[in-house]
Structure 1
C-alpha cells in the first residue's frame, strides 16, 4: 500500500469512528453520585427517593446523595430547584440559564460537554419530580450498569395544567379492587414519572357494590391511603362523587347524604377538587343539582377549604331545557365552582361548550380510554369478531387512536383526567399523560420510553413496535387482516429472547396475551367461516340428499368448532397468561377463576364464543326438522339460506360490513369527530340486558332465540343526530318496499323518512327486530333515495343493522 492511499485510509477511519462515537456517545452513570442542596422540601426529597429507588430496582445500583459539590472522578447527577442553581459551579449556572426558560412544573435537563455530569433543574418541586421522571425514561439500564446519552439538552414545560387518571377502588374495576396501598403507590409513581399530576379517587358508595372478594381493606381506608400517597408526591387529589341518593330535596334525605360526605371528606388528608357528574349515574334536574352542590360545598370546605367542585352535563336522555338550565347555572360562577368536565354521554360537543360558558371558566376532559365499544370513543370500524371476543373492556393499547382523540379537542380544555376501570388501558394512560404535557410527541416515542423504562431498555424498540402492531390488529376486517399473524410472530420472538424480568413484567404480559388472543381469534374466524360455508353447501343439497340427512350433517358441521378447538396450545397460553396477570396485579380476566365482574374485563371468558352464524342456524335447523313434511322442510331450509336475499332488482345491506357502510352519509371524518357526536358510528348489540349487549335478542316474540350475526352490529347516530343512508340506480318505474332491522343497545323512539317524505312516524324500537314499509313513490322519481332516521328529544339514538330494499313485482 503506498503512502497516499494509507493516508486516506487513516483519515477515513478517523472520520468513521469519530462519527460512530458521536452517534453513540453516552455517559456511564454506574458509579454516579447525586448532588442536591435541598434539605427541607419534602416533595423534592421524595423526587430524589424516586430516582434512587427506581434505579436500584432495575439494576441494583444505589446512588448516594451529597449536599456539597466536590470534585470527584465519579459521574454526577446534580438535582435542584431553579432558585438554587447559584450553588452550582458558575459554568453550569451559565449553561442552565442559556437554554429556554420553563414554566410551572417544568424542568431542564442538560449534560455539559466534556463532562460526566447530568444537571436536572426544576422550576418548582413538581418540576424536579418530572425532570427526574424524564431522566429515568432516558436511561439505558442493564444489570449492574447504567448510562445515558451525552446529548441530553431538554427544556420542557407542560402544555396543560391538569394531567391525570382515575383509579377507583371498587368492584367494577378489572384490577384496582385487588390492590394494596403499596401497589397503588407504585402505580401512582409510575404515572408521575410520565408527567401525571392528578389522581381521581372514588368514595365507598358509587353505582357499584360496596366490597368484593379481592379487597384488602375497606374502601374508606383505601381512599385515605390513596390521598396520602398522592400528597407525598405533591400530586393533586380529585374525587369522582356521583349523586346516588334517592331524593335531594327532602331535608331528611339531604341530611343523610351530607352526613355520608362528611365522613368521606374527613377521611382523606388531601382533596383538591370534587367532580360531581350531572348523570351516569345520578341524573338530577339542574336546579336541584346546583342547590345540592352548594350544600355539599359547605361540608367539603370544613375539611378542604380550597377545594373546588366541578360538574359535567352528563345525561342519558337530554332535553334542550335541561341544557339551558345547566349552562345558566354554570355561568353564574358560584364561589365553590371549579369548572365543567367533558366526559362520556355528553351531547354538546366540547367546542360548543367552550362557546356557551364564560371564557374564564375552565374545562377538564374526562376521556374514556378504557372501553372499546359502547363508549365515548369506540374503536372505529371494529370487526364484529373482536367485539364479540375482546368485548368492551379488553387489554386495549390504542396509541395512534388515543393521540388522534386527544389532539382533536385538546385546545378547548385545561387538560384531562381519564376514565379508567383498571389496568387494561395501561398504555393509553401513559399516552395521555405525555400528550397533556406535549401534544406533539409522536406516539412511537412515548412507547419507546414506556418500553425502555418499564420493560427492557435492550429491546425497547422491538417492544414499542410490537405495541403499535397490536393496534393495527384491530383495524378493519379481521378475516383479511394478514398483519395479525405477523404481530403474533413478533411477540412470540420477543417472548423467547427478553430477560426473565421482562417475562414477569405485567405490562409485557398484557401485550403478549393480546398477541396470542388476537392470533387465536384470527385462526378461529377463518375456520368457523369455512365451517359455516360447508354447512350451507350441505343444506343447499337437501333436495338431493333429503332434509333429514342434510340437517344432521349440517348440524354436525356447525358443532365441529365447539368440539375441536383450533390451535389448543395458543388457547392454553392465553389462560396461562391470564393466571399470571391475576397473580401479579389482580387482573380479573375470567369470572369463574378470577372472580371478575361479568362484562368488565373478563374477555378471556369470550375466547370460544361463536364467530359465525352457527347459533342462529342451529336454532333454525332444530325448528325446521320438527316440521311434518319434506316439502315444508325444504321450503324452510331455502328461506333460511336466502334470509338476506332482497329478490330480483333489490338491494341488501348489513351495516356492520365495510361494503355497506359506503352508503352511510357522513360529512365529517372520524379524526375530527372521534366521539361521533355529529357523525355515524358502528355499534354493537341486539337488545338490552342491563347495560350490556348480549348474544340473544330480548325483543318481544324472540326471547331465547339466537339472532343472526348481522343483528349484532349496526350503524348508529347519537341522540337526535340524523342518520342518513343513500341508494341510487333504482328503477324509477318500479315501486319498492323497505325491510329494516332495528336492533342495538338502545330502545329509542325513531322516525323514518325517504328524502323528505315520511315512511313511518315515531315508533319504539326494541319491540320487534324487523319492520316493513312501502317507500313513498315520490321519493323514487329520480332513481335515488336517501333514507333518514331521527329520534325524538331525549332519546339516545338511531340504530339500523340491516336493510332490504325490495323491488316489487309489476
Structure 2
C-alpha cells in the first residue's frame, strides 16, 4: 500500500532548522541509532552544522522529533493532528509533518518501525535545502508514505567485470549503501569471491571474501537485508568430488559472512545444470546454508541459456517448483528468460513470490535494449556506458510491477546510477513522477541551488539518445545547458562525480554528432571519388578516396569536445575508480564499460572502403579493377524493380512485423529487437579471422530470440517476374546457430544454414511464391544460439 501526499521541497514558506534541537529518546535499537546517524552526518557534510540531540522534550525551541512509533508513542499521542495518519502507516512507512503547537514548531519524522524511521530521514534529506550553515524545509511539507513493493534493492558486485565497484574501498561502499537506503532500498545483493569473472583484478583494495564480510555487516547495520547471488560454475555437479569441493567452499562463505537473508541461485547466465539437478543441488546447498543462516531461503531463476533444451528444461523446472521444496523461497525473473513475467506468474504456485532481477546497466544485447538508438552511439558507447534512462525505466518498471513483490536490479557499476534511484522510487511508489526523483537526486547529491537546472539536464540526456543522431538537435541544446552549468557551479559541485558523469555524457554525445556529420560527408565525397575511376583511372581514384577518408584522422573535428571527454574520464577514475578506458584506467576490456576507449570508432564505412581498396589494388587488370570499384559503389543497389533494406534504418524496419509494440514488450520476449554486434568492428576480438572492413550496415540487425516470430513483408512485386534474394545474417562468433527462411509460409528459400559472425546467403524466389505480388519472409532458428539476426536483404529482379 502506498499513500503519499507531498508539497514540493521548494514551495511555500521555508522553515529554517539550523538552530533546531533533535529530540529522540535514548532507548533505541542499533538500526534506529543508525538512522539518526544518517540524519546528523549527512546534514553536517552539507551544512557544517551539528544538530544537538536531547532525550527530554525541549520547550520553547524549534524541535525535530525523529524516531519510530514504538519509541515515540507517548510523544506522538500528544499530537492529535497526526493520529489518524499514524494508524494507517504500513511496515517500513513513515510520516513527515511540521506541527505548530503552543507557539512551538515541531518537525515530526516518524517511522512505522526502524526501517520506516530510516526512510523518513531519507525523505527529509531529499526534500531539504542543505547549504552552508543552513537547513531549510517547506513549512507546509506533509508526506505520509508506505512502500508498494516488499523487496527494493540492487546488486553490488565486487569483481573486475564492474566498471567501478572493484576500485572501491569499504567506506565508499558504505556511503553508496546509505544513499540507496535514503531512496528506499531495503536489500543489497552481494556476490561470492568466485564468479564467472577473474578472481582478482588490478583495482582491488580488499580481498573479495573480506569485502563480502564487511559489506554484510554494513548492510545489517542499516537494518537492510543481505542477499547473495551464487552461480553454479563447476563442470559436473553429479560428480561426488565436485559436490564435496563446492559445498566446502559454500560452507566457509556461509560461516564467515555474518548476515544472509536469502540466496539467489540462477538457473543460467552463468550456470548449465539440468533442471532436475538444479533442484537437487539447491537442496544440498540449503542444508549448508541453514547451518549458519537457518531462516534464509534459496530463490531460483529459469535463466536457462541452452536453446536446444529450453522447452524440456522449463517443463521440468515448473514441475519441480510445484512440488514445493521447503527450502525454496521464491522465483526470480531475470535477463534472457523465455517465459514473460505474466506467464511466469501464472505457472508458479501462488505460495511462491516472484522477485525481479532487472538489468538496468546495459544498452543492448541485454534484457531491455535502448529503443530507437542511433548506430553511431552503439558503435562508440558500446554495451555499457553512462546511461540515465529515467522515463524508459519508469515505464518498464510499472508495466510489470503487479506480477512481483519487488526488485533487486542487476548492475555492473556506477554508470546506471540514475537508473538505480529511479527504480527504487518506482518500487516504493509507482505513481512517483520521474522528475520528482531526478529533482531529489540533483538536490541531495549535487547542488540544491541548481536543483531544477541539473534535473532538466539529466532528463535531456535520455532525449539525446532518441532517434536519428543526425536529426536530433536536442544533443546540441543539451550540451549548451550543461556547459552553462559547468561555468556556473561552485568548485565542489564541479568535482562531484555525479555531476561529472552527466557532463561527460553531454560532451560525448555532442562530439559524436559532430563526428557523424563530418564523417558522413567524407564518405559521400570518397564515393564520389570512386565514381571518377573510369576517367582518372582505378588506382588514382582509390588513392583519392583514401585521402578523403584520411581527413577524419589528419584533420579531426571538434577536438575541444574530445579533450574535455578525456579530462572528465580521468577525473572520474580518480574520484570513483570509473574505468572508462582500457589504457589509462585498466578496464578489463573495451566492451566492459570502457566507452572512452572506443570514442573515435569510425562512424562511416572507412574501414570497409580501405579494405576493399587494398584488395582491388591486387587485381592485375584495369578493367577488372574498374568492375570491382563499381561493385563497391553499387553494393546495396538492387537494380530496377528491386528492393534493398538495411534493418538498422527506420524505413526498413517498417517491413518488419512487430506483433507487439515496444510500449507493451520492452524486453522483446514477444517481438523482434534491434541488435548491435559492435565487436565485428574490433580487430582485437578473439577470432581466427579479422573483422575489420565490413560495412556498418552489418553491425546493426533485426533480431528475434527463442520462438519470437521474425517476419518481413514485401508488397507489389511483379507476379510474373523472376527474383533472387540475398540475405545477410549476423551472429556471435562463439554462439553459432542454424537458420531457415520460408517464403509465404510454405516455400523454403534455404535451410540448415550455419550463421557465425556474418553469413551471406543467395536464393532464388520460387515463381509460385509471387502469385499475388506479396512476399512474406519468415526466419526460423533450427538450432544453436537462441537468436536470429538479419542485417540486410537485397532482392534483385532478373
Q: What's the CA shift for 1:774?
A: 1.2
- Matching residue within 466, 484, 497 for 1:493: 484
- Matching residue within 744, 748, 765 for 1:755: 744
Moved more, 282-291 or 771-780: 771-780
Q: What's the CA shift for 1:795?
A: 3.8
- CA distance in structure 2 between the partners assigned to 1:700 and 1:25 by the alignment: 66
Moved more, 702-711 or 322-331: 702-711
- Which residue is equivalent to 2:274? 285
- Which residue is equivalent to 1:311? 300
- In structure 1, the residue corresponding to 2:749 is in which secondary structure? strand
Would you say the 8 A contact 2:9–2:128 is kept in 1?
A: no
- CA distance in structure 1 between the partners assigned to 2:244 and 2:769 by the alignment: 60
- In structure 2, the residue corresponding to 1:801 is in which secondary structure? strand
Would you say the 8 A contact 1:162–1:197 is kept in 2?
A: yes
- Matching residue within 689, 707, 711 for 1:724: 711
CA 1:698 to 1:132, structure 2 compared with 1: closer, same or farther past 3 Å?
A: closer
Would you say the 8 A contact 1:713–1:744 is kept in 2?
A: no
- Matching residue within 48, 63, 70 for 1:76: 63
Q: What's the CA shift for 1:412?
A: 0.5
- Which residue is equivalent to 2:599? 607
Pairing of 1:220-369 with structure 2 (within 5 A):
220-318=209-307, 319-369=310-360
1:35 aligns with 2:31: no
- In structure 2, the residue corresponding to 1:116 is in which secondary structure? strand
- Which residue is equivalent to 1:786? 776
Moved more, 740-749 or 366-375: 740-749
Moved more, 598-607 or 22-31: 22-31
- Which residue is equivalent to 1:92? 79
1:505 aligns with 2:496: yes
- Which residue is equivalent to 2:170? 181
Q: What's the CA shift for 1:22?
A: 11
1:137 aligns with 2:126: yes
CA 1:155 to 1:24, structure 2 compared with 1: closer, same or farther past 3 Å?
A: closer
- Which residue is equivalent to 1:412? 403
How many pairs align? 783
Moved more, 88-97 or 543-552: 88-97
- CA distance in structure 2 between the partners assigned to 1:87 and 1:27 by the alignment: 26
- In structure 2, the residue corresponding to 1:88 is in which secondary structure? helix
Moved more, 366-375 or 32-41: 32-41
Moved more, 504-513 or 770-779: 770-779
- In structure 1, the residue corresponding to 2:272 is in which secondary structure? coil
- CA distance in structure 2 between the partners assigned to 1:515 and 1:176 by the alignment: 23
- Matching residue within 100, 115, 122 for 1:126: 115
- CA distance in structure 1 between the partners assigned to 2:278 and 2:111 by the alignment: 41
Pairing of 1:679-694 with structure 2 (within 5 A):
679-685=671-677, 694=681
Q: What's the CA shift for 1:37?
A: 1.7
- Matching residue within 634, 647, 656 for 2:648: 656
Question: Which 5+ residue runs of structure 2 have no aligned equivalent?
Answer: 1-7
Q: What's the CA shift for 1:703?
A: 4.0
Q: What's the CA shift for 1:100?
A: 6.7
- Which residue is equivalent to 1:401? 392
1:737 aligns with 2:724: yes
- Matching residue within 24, 43, 48 for 2:36: 48
- CA distance in structure 1 between the partners assigned to 2:372 and 2:27 by the alignment: 55
- In structure 2, the residue corresponding to 1:732 is in which secondary structure? coil
Q: What's the CA shift for 1:86?
A: 3.6
Would you say the 8 A contact 1:27–1:116 is kept in 2?
A: no
- Which residue is equivalent to 1:5? none
Would you say the 8 A contact 2:341–2:403 is kept in 1?
A: yes
Q: What's the CA shift for 1:96?
A: 4.0
- CA distance in structure 2 between the partners assigned to 1:21 and 1:298 by the alignment: 50
- CA distance in structure 2 between the partners assigned to 1:744 and 1:147 by the alignment: 56
Pairing of 1:464-613 with structure 2 (within 5 A):
464-598=455-589, 599-613=591-605
Would you say the 8 A contact 1:695–1:712 is kept in 2?
A: no
Q: What's the CA shift for 1:720?
A: 2.4
CA 1:694 to 1:621, structure 2 compared with 1: closer, same or farther past 3 Å?
A: closer
- Matching residue within 143, 150, 153 for 2:139: 150
TM-score (norm 1): 0.94
1:163 aligns with 2:152: yes
Moved more, 97-106 or 517-526: 97-106
Would you say the 8 A contact 1:36–1:66 is kept in 2?
A: yes
- Which residue is equivalent to 1:689? none
Q: What's the CA shift for 1:575?
A: 0.7
CA 1:693 to 1:301, structure 2 compared with 1: closer, same or farther past 3 Å?
A: farther
- In structure 2, the residue corresponding to 1:591 is in which secondary structure? coil
Q: What's the CA shift for 1:793?
A: 5.8
- Which residue is equivalent to 1:9? none
Q: What's the CA shift for 1:681?
A: 0.5
Residues 385-438 of structure 1: per-residue CA shift (max 9 Å, x gap):
101101111000000111111111111011000000000100000011100000
Would you say the 8 A contact 2:9–2:127 is kept in 1?
A: no
- In structure 2, the residue corresponding to 1:520 is in which secondary structure? helix
- Matching residue within 413, 435, 440 for 1:449: 440
- CA distance in structure 1 between the partners assigned to 2:76 and 2:724 by the alignment: 85
Moved more, 380-389 or 757-766: 757-766
1:213 aligns with 2:202: yes
- CA distance in structure 2 between the partners assigned to 1:212 and 1:790 by the alignment: 42
Q: What's the CA shift for 1:97?
A: 3.0
Residues 325-383 of structure 1: per-residue CA shift (max 9 Å, x gap):
01111112211111110111111101111011111210000000010011111101211
CA 1:666 to 1:66, structure 2 compared with 1: closer, same or farther past 3 Å?
A: same
- Which residue is equivalent to 2:14? 26
- In structure 1, the residue corresponding to 2:597 is in which secondary structure? helix
- In structure 1, the residue corresponding to 2:664 is in which secondary structure? coil
- CA distance in structure 2 between the partners assigned to 1:146 and 1:738 by the alignment: 70
Would you say the 8 A contact 1:274–1:307 is kept in 2?
A: yes
- CA distance in structure 2 between the partners assigned to 1:22 and 1:341 by the alignment: 40
Would you say the 8 A contact 1:86–1:93 is kept in 2?
A: no
- In structure 2, the residue corresponding to 1:374 is in which secondary structure? coil
- Which residue is equivalent to 1:711? 698
Moved more, 772-781 or 586-595: 772-781
- CA distance in structure 2 between the partners assigned to 1:24 and 1:444 by the alignment: 19
- Matching residue within 788, 791, 795 for 1:798: 788
1:101 aligns with 2:91: no
Q: What's the CA shift for 1:683?
A: 0.4
1:630 aligns with 2:618: no
Question: Which 5+ residue runs of structure 1 have no aligned equivalent?
Answer: 1-19, 687-691
- In structure 2, the residue corresponding to 1:275 is in which secondary structure? strand
Pairing of 1:656-675 with structure 2 (within 5 A):
656-675=648-667
- Matching residue within 742, 745, 763 for 1:773: 763
- In structure 2, the residue corresponding to 1:760 is in which secondary structure? strand
- In structure 2, the residue corresponding to 1:806 is in which secondary structure? strand
Would you say the 8 A contact 1:101–1:155 is kept in 2?
A: no
1:110 aligns with 2:92: no
- CA distance in structure 1 between the partners assigned to 2:213 and 2:741 by the alignment: 53
- CA distance in structure 2 between the partners assigned to 1:303 and 1:346 by the alignment: 32
Residues 614-661 of structure 1: per-residue CA shift (max 9 Å, x gap):
000011111112222221211111110000011110000000111110
